[in-house]
């Protein structure tokens, strides 16, 4: 499994707004298959969370965006996971399946 990581910041864009944008704009050829938000104490605004883009829900390839509040804006970490054609994966225990990066 190959993993590439990238980072960037969005000045004056809240984590809540960044998460909403990522959810409504999946990466090309992918769909949003998961994610979560961390609400701010006593408020419905998110202070961070994740958005998962995959070609299909059971894919071993994905982009995972992790968003957090940074000052008056937000910071984003993007992890890109891809399984090479010659990769050998572990066998999942009966009744389970391997997930992203697994």
The two structure tokens encoding residue 47 = 């202070």
64 is a domain residue: yes
What was the pLDDT predicted at 85?
Answer: 77
Maximum separation of any 2 CA atoms in the chain, in Å: 49
Q: Rounded to 5 degrees, what angle do the CA atoms 68, 72, 36 make?
A: 25
97 is a domain residue: no
94 is a domain residue: no
What was the pLDDT predicted at 87?
Answer: 75
75 is a domain residue: yes
Number of structural domains found in the chain: 1
37 is a domain residue: yes
What was the pLDDT predicted at 58?
Answer: 73
99 is a domain residue: no
What's the distance, Cα to Cα, between the start and end of the chain in Å? Answer: 8
30 is a domain residue: yes
What was the pLDDT predicted at 42?
Answer: 62
What was the pLDDT predicted at 24?
Answer: 94
The two structure tokens encoding residue 39 = 């609400």
What was the pLDDT predicted at 102?
Answer: 37
Contacts of 33 (CB under 8 A, 6+ apart): 52, 53, 54, 56, 57, 62
16 is a domain residue: yes
Residue 76 lies in domain = 2-82
Phi, psi torsion values for 40, nearest 5 degrees:
-75, 140
pTM of the model: 0.78
What was the pLDDT predicted at 34?
Answer: 84
Low-confidence ranges of the chain (pLDDT < 70): 39-44, 98-102
């Amino acid at each position: 499994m190959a993993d590439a990581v990238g980072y960037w910041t969005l000045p004056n864009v809240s984590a809540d707004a960044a998460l909403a944008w990522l959810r409504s704009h999946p990466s090309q050829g992918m769909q949003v298959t998961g994610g979560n938000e961390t609400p701010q104490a006593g408020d419905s605004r998110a202070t961070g969370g994740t958005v998962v883009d995959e070609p299909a829900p059971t894919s071993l390839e994905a982009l995972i965006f992790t968003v957090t509040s940074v000052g008056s804006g937000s910071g984003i970490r993007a992890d890109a996971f891809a399984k090479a054609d010659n990769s050998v994966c572990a066998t999942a225990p009966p009744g389970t399946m391997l997930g992203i990066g697994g």
